[in-house]
Structure 1
Amino acid sequence: MLAWYDKHARDLPWRAPPGAPRADPYRVWLSEIMLQQTTVATVRPKFEHFTTRWPDFASLAAADEAELMSAWAGLGYYARARNLVACARVVVERHGGAFPGNEDELRALPGIGAYTAAAIASIAFGERAVVVDGNVERVVSRLFAIGEPLPGARAAIRAATDTITPDSRSGDFAQAMMDLGSSICTPRNPKCLVCPLNDQCLALSQGEPDAYPVKPAKATKPQRYGTIFWGERDGKVLLERRPPRGLLGGMRALPTGPWADAPPGLADPPVAADWQVLDDRVVHVFTHFRLELALAVAIVREHSNAGEWWPVAEIESAGLPTVFAKAAAVVRGEIRRAT
């Protein structure tokens, strides 16, 4: 794997080249948090922006949280962004602005779980650690033909990964396994003919690599409904700041009524206006539920100090979470067609 990685490693802005001295712990940590449930293509420009705006723990610890949340927009799972600031502040206050290099101490920091601590310890500090992300999980489950369904199989997958993790260059090994899973040992149609582990893969020898990892049947996500309110006045649209805790906490957003088990109609509009509901709907799937949103639009006549009035022509710069950015695009399209 290390020989393969030396030739085929991805060029990523948070990585040191194969075999080079250790990578910057701050950049490793930031990239690992951003990459949770998010693609490299989406993360790369966000990472470049973050490291330009907040290049180290001290600057991130001093960040304005509203600005940081806006910069995070589009990456999803917004609790991660709040944990970034919390973690940076602990590192500055208790560790002199530098990460501890020990895996156990890393796990004690806000927002750092077992996987992230292992990745930082291994990649940034050269400590032998067992690193298992989604890509490694897939590679190892196929390599050892681990037939127990997820999530129960994770203990066996981690134990198997431990048996093949080398004492030296374990960070490069972990990144090699990640790259293999991303480019060759893909979820569907893996490129087994060019895989450097194909002569050792039990799933391939059985003729069914696609069967691993074994996944449980998907449960149906609960359905919820809501209404987004697009209130416009003098070329500006009304935005609000969501409560600091809870889903999309602290983010700038379009106002909504309640999210409920049945369509709430025009309940709880942000201001009094002649609200009209469009025919279009916006659907967004969160981790634990599916949300269908009606779109209500109005010209706001009376003066209101509620929320924040943002130029419609610059709405893309507001840092709206994906669900609200979708809604803004739909509403603006409808308005353009109507005029």
Structure 2
Amino acid sequence: MTLDFKHRSYFSEQLLAWYRRGNRDLPWRRSRDPYHIWVSEVMLQQTRVETVIPYYHRFLERFPTIEALADAPEDDVLKLWEGLGYYSRARNLQAAVREVKERYGSVVPDTPEDISTLKGVGPYTSGAILSIAYNKPVPAVDGNVMRVLSRFFLIEDDIMKPATRKVMEKLACELIPEGAAGDFNQALMEFGALVCTPRSPHCMTCPVMEHCAARLEGMEQELPVKKKAKPPRPERRLAALIEGTGEQEGKVLIRQRPQEGLLARMWELPHGLAGDSAGQEDEALAIGELHEAMRRDGLSITQVQPYMSAEHTFSHIHWDMQVYRCRLAAGGDLPDLLPYHYRWVGLAELEQYALPNVFVRIFRKYFKDMPAS
């Protein structure tokens, strides 16, 4: 690892001046309320700024205070989060907010020791809240910041290693100008997002290009060093879009996922994992596997017809989903005969349920395809 520290003050001063000359007007930058900043930082994890903005407005309109979010039903929180993905972020945020209400009188803690004990609040989130809301000289090191520091100071170690992150956090802390922690940390984030980008960094408009070690060594495209993550595991899934009849005409059957694990307690189409032999070229075999998956869940289906395909990628799994329209066997559509975690819902009622985005897309197509009654 090579660290050139002699240009630290240059880097900090130039970057801060660049930020203050004209940063983006983002809604969370209009507030110093630690709760508002906390919400924005959680939403921004692994999500683009443009996507987050409308969610941020809707979320704070519905839950404007710590107390409002702490007291809300979890289903309401997940419904407002629908489409952002990574739903554990929303659950952890609400759990942590409840801790703040109970332990700190609804005041977000202003020390690293206290705030880091809250559920889901790691070093980056705590640093962002403490520096932006309270102007505490605490670093907030995310992927953008590590990329910037790797290039300017020519840090060639793998940024996925904990030891490298510790070096980055120590360096970032030492770079914070006195009295300007919030602006400086936001400057680092902004600079990484707009100028020192992952691919094709804009070196010719960079405010610190003169002393950037990676540019001087011709290594700006090679840094940061980052070990490639494993690609998501592919899974082929068979989903049943079960249509109601009689009193349930115009409705579809959804089920709630288990209390723990992936997409916990959210609602979805019933589906199962396809076997290796159920390829797309063997529709009859796939339908047979779908029948078996539904029987394991206590359902008997009939009139099964291919409908559509859909895909969804999680951090570790890629779902390739084949969706089949079908109905329950005679008499099986009575609500009191269904397993407890199933519901008949129409288009309007779906608004009350938190659904993973892949199923939102399927339902939008389905209800759009339905003839007007």
Q: Structure 2-normalised TM-score?
A: 0.82
| Count of matched residue pairs | 331
Q: Superposition pairs for residues 1-339 of structure 1, below 5 Å?
A: 1-16=15-30, 23-152=32-161, 153-233=164-244, 234-258=249-273, 263=278, 265-266=289-290, 267-269=292-294, 271-278=299-306, 280-300=308-328, 302=331, 303-305=333-335, 306=338, 307-312=342-347, 318-329=353-364, 331=366, 335=369
Query: Which stretch shifts more, 317-326 or 167-176?
Result: 317-326
Aligned to 1:19: none
Check conservation: 2:75, 2:353, Cα contact below 8 A.
no
Moved more, 2-11 or 293-302: 293-302
In the alignment, is the contact (CA less than 8 A) between 1:192 and 1:198 conserved in 2?
A: yes
Relative to structure 1, the CA distance from residue 285 to residue 88 in structure 2 (aligned partners, 3 Å threshold; closer, same or farther) is same
2:238–2:272 contact (8 Å) kept in structure 1: yes
Q: Does the CA-based 8 Å contact 1:248-1:321 persist in structure 2?
A: yes
Distance 1:195 1:157 in 2: 21
- TM-score (structure 1 length as normaliser): 0.90
C-alpha distance in 1 between matches for 2:277 and 2:346: 32
Partner Cα distance (1:24, 1:294) in 2: 45
CA deviation after TM superposition for structure 1 residue 221, in Å: 2.8
Q: Which stretch shows the higher mean deviation, 216-225 or 85-94?
A: 216-225
Give the aligned CA root-mean-square deviation in angstroms. 2.3
Q: How far apart, in 2, do the equivalents of 1:199 and 1:262 lie?
A: 59
Query: Unmatched 5+ residue regions in structure 1?
Result: 17-21
Structure 2 segments unaligned to the other structure (5+ residues): 1-14, 279-285
2 CA distance for matches of 1:259 and 1:163?
53
3-state SS, counterpart of residue 5 of structure 1: helix
1:220 shift after superposition:
3.5
Paired with 2:35 and 2:274, the residues of 1 have a C-alpha distance of 38
- Shifted more, 313-322 versus 283-292: the winner is 313-322
Q: Would the alpha carbon gap of residues 37 and 261 (structure 1) be closer, same or farther in structure 2, given more than 3 Å must change? A: farther
* Cα distance, 1:8 vs structure 2: 2.0
- Taking a change above 3 Å as real, the CA distance of residues 332 and 262 of structure 1, as seen in their structure-2 partners, is farther
Letter paired with 1:113:
G
Q: How far does residue 261 in structure 1 lie from its aligned partner after superposition?
A: 6.7
Going from structure 1 to structure 2, the CA distance change for 1:275 and 1:187 (only over 3 Å counts) comes to: farther
Pair 1:261–1:120, CA change in 2 (3 A): farther
Q: Is the 8 A contact 1:69 1:250 kept in 2?
A: no
- Specify the code of the residue in structure 2 equivalent to 1:173: F
Tell me which moved more, 310-319 or 132-141.
310-319
Output one character per residue of 1:252-276: Cα deviation in whole Å (capped at 9) or x when no partner. Answer: 2222224777757303326322152
Q: 2:3 maps to what in 1?
A: none
Separation (CA, whole Å) in 2 of partners of 1:193 and 1:119? 29
Mark the structure with the bigger radius of gyration. Answer: 2
What letter is aligned with 1:323? V
Paired residues of 2:151 and 2:213 also in contact (CA < 8 A): yes
Instruction: Return the alpha-carbon distance in structure 2 between the equivalents of residues 336 and 122 of structure 1.
Output: 52
Cα distance in 2, alignment partners of residues 198 and 159 from structure 1? 22
CA–CA distance in 1 between the matches of 2:349 and 2:110?
Answer: 43
Q: Which amino acid in the other structure matches residue 269 of structure 2?
A: L
Letter paired with 1:154: R
